[in-house]
Amino acid sequence: MALAIMCSGGDAPGMNPAIKKFVDYVYKRGERPYLIYDGLEGMIDNKIKQATHRDVVGIIHNGGTIIRSSRSKRFFDYDFRLKAYENLQMHGITALVILGGDGSFRALNQFSKDFDINFVGIPTTIDNDIYGTEYCLGVDTALNVIRDALDKIRDTASSFNRAFLVEVMGRDCGYLAIVSSMISGAEICVIPEKPFERERIEEKLKKEVAAGRNYILAIIAEGAKQTNEVYQWLQDSIGLDTRVSILGHIQRGGNPTVYDRMMAFDFTVTAVDHLLTHNDSNKVVVFQKGDFKLMEIEEVVGNRYTLPQHFLDALHLLDQS
């Protein structure tokens, strides 16, 4: 049996460990592994090759993805999906593992409905915003990159009478922001899921500044779209000279942590085992309460991820006196 692996959408640390495990494990099971380069675009353009152990040696500690990724507008066109299917047929590939997020799963779901292709998705996004799974591959590494940046920013913030406002990724999800705030001791956290209680926090911070507080660390989720607003508020209302740091794409890079390497191992083995033993299509591996399970794709893409209540409750704990 020929199986292929591909990446789609934004890159995330942990992709390379998953790719290596895929190749090694498929060979161990006596089957043929293939690599699809450049994601959905590469499938359309036939950038597909049978993998060898040599292709994946020494990649487990590298961030990013050796087979690269893409977003594809062409894949929305049936004729291009047909071309992609014909390319897979040419190589004898009947099953796919896809490392990606919600949009990638939707694309493969349609592809599987059009053609006789079996696929399993592995939730891979630093945003940690996929319904049904408590963890997405790459999140722990991203959080450690953010933690390192915040520790250094706090060092310089405490050396001046200054506020630092740090914007983190997460798309429309506040997971990275709230966890980063919890582990950095940030005084302010703004996320899309909950209104920013400016008046209450302003009263508290003004009292603390008057009593001698000389710096503030504020974490803003990009999806909140309030970076400029909170900047002006810190400057004008709180009265602290404020600097803005947008961490941007450094959050997607870096050596995968031990945890992400371990999760890549288990996510991938679960996906391959399912493809080799089942003919039903359109599944996603999810991590729930310490176990790896398979969930129907319609359930994953048909529902919206929400932050656990204990994270939302933590917002009040962050800014209590």
Rounded CA gap, 78 and 211, in Å?
65
Provide the CATH topology of domain 140-252. Rossmann fold (3.40.50)
Residue 98 pLDDT > 50: yes
Question: Using an 8 Å Cβ cutoff, are 174 and 191 in contact?
Answer: yes
User: H/E/C letters for each residue in 213-280?
Assistant: CCEEEEEEEHHHCCHHHHHHHHHHHHCCEEEEEECHHHHHCCCCCHHHHHHHHHHHHHHHHHHHHCCC
pTM, whole model, 2 decimals?
Answer: 0.95
Residue 321 pLDDT > 50: no
The per-residue pLDDT of the chain, averaged, comes to 94
Q: Answer yes or no: same fold for 2-138+256-301 and 140-252.
A: yes
Residue 221, C-beta contacts closer than 8 angstroms, at least 6 positions apart: 167, 168, 170, 173, 174, 176, 177, 178, 190, 191, 192
- What are the backbone angles phi and psi of residue 40, rounded to the nearest 5°? -60, -35
The pLDDT tens digits for 252-297 are 999 999 999 999 999 999 999 999 999 887 899 999 999 999 999 9
pLDDT of residue 158: 79
The pLDDT tens digits for 105-131 are 999 999 999 999 999 999 999 999 999
Look up 127 and say whether it is catalytic: yes
The residue length of the chain stands at: 321
pLDDT of residue 215: 87
| Helix H or strand E segment including 318 | helix 309-318
Rounded CA gap, 105 and 296, in Å?
11
DSSP string, 57-117: TT-TT-SS-TT-----SGGGSHHHHHHHHHHHHHHTEEEEEEEE-HHHHHHHHHHHHHSS-
Q: What is the mean pLDDT of residues 74-93?
A: 98
The pLDDT tens digits for 155-210 are 888 788 889 999 999 999 999 999 999 999 999 999 999 999 898 899 999 999 88
Q: Which CATH architecture has domain 2-138+256-301?
A: 3-Layer(aba) Sandwich (3.40)
Residue of 127, 129, 140, 260 marked active site: 127
Residue whose pair of structure tokens reads 């099953």 in the numeric block:
95
Q: What is the mean pLDDT of residues 26-30?
A: 98
The domain ranges of the chain are: 2-138+256-301, 140-252
Rounded CA gap, 275 and 97, in Å?
9
Band of pLDDT at residue 319, cut at 50, 70 and 90: low
Q: What is the mean pLDDT of residues 208-237?
A: 94
